[in-house]
Amino acid sequence: GNSVTQMEGPVTLSEEAFLTINCTYTATGYPSLFWYVQYPGEGLQLLLKATKADDKGSNKGFEATYRKETTSFHLEKGSVQVSDSAVYFCALSSNYGGATNKLIFGTGTLLAVQP
């Protein structure tokens, strides 16, 4: 079945460091891919998405490219800030049953940015 695998955390970086959080997926058909972010004590928020191969999603300095050949959607940011400290979830849409809103999530990666 469909699944998402993302790197385990925590990832600890110094401010202004480069960030990569790896995400790979297994899916039939042509899923859409998402990154969600969860700040402490809050629900998840959509960070960015890509709906077809080679699409690049970007938001707030974060970006991820939908790579069908490697079934990957790695999250990157050139210079992280303390305010980026959060849990990041990779997810894919599951089109079974015709409801594309059903998302399958990875286990989440905690990012801690130190000043």
Partner 1 sequence: NAGVTQTPKFQVLKTGQSMTLQCAQDMNHEYMSWYRQDPGMGLRLIHYSVGAGITDQGEVPNGYNVSRSTTEDFPLRLLSAAPSQTSVYFCASSSLGRPNSPLHFGNGTRLTVT
Q: Among 57, 61, 39, which Cα is nearest to 48's?
A: 57
For tokens 């690049």, the residue is: 56
Q: Can residue 44 be called a binding residue for partner 1 (CB under 8 A)? A: yes
Given candidates 51, 58, 71, 72, which one binds partner 1 under the rule CB under 8 A?
Answer: 51
Given candidates 19, 49, 77, 88, which one binds partner 1 under the rule CB under 8 A?
Answer: 49
C-beta of 77 vs 88, nearer to partner 1: 88
Residues contacting 112, CB < 8 A, separation 6+:
10, 11, 12, 13, 85
Q: Tell me the closest approach of the beta carbon of residue 4 to partner 1, in angstroms.
A: 8
Q: Can residue 28 be called a binding residue for partner 1 (CB under 8 A)? A: no
Q: Can residue 106 be called a binding residue for partner 1 (CB under 8 A)? A: yes
Query: Which DSSP state fits 29?
Result: S
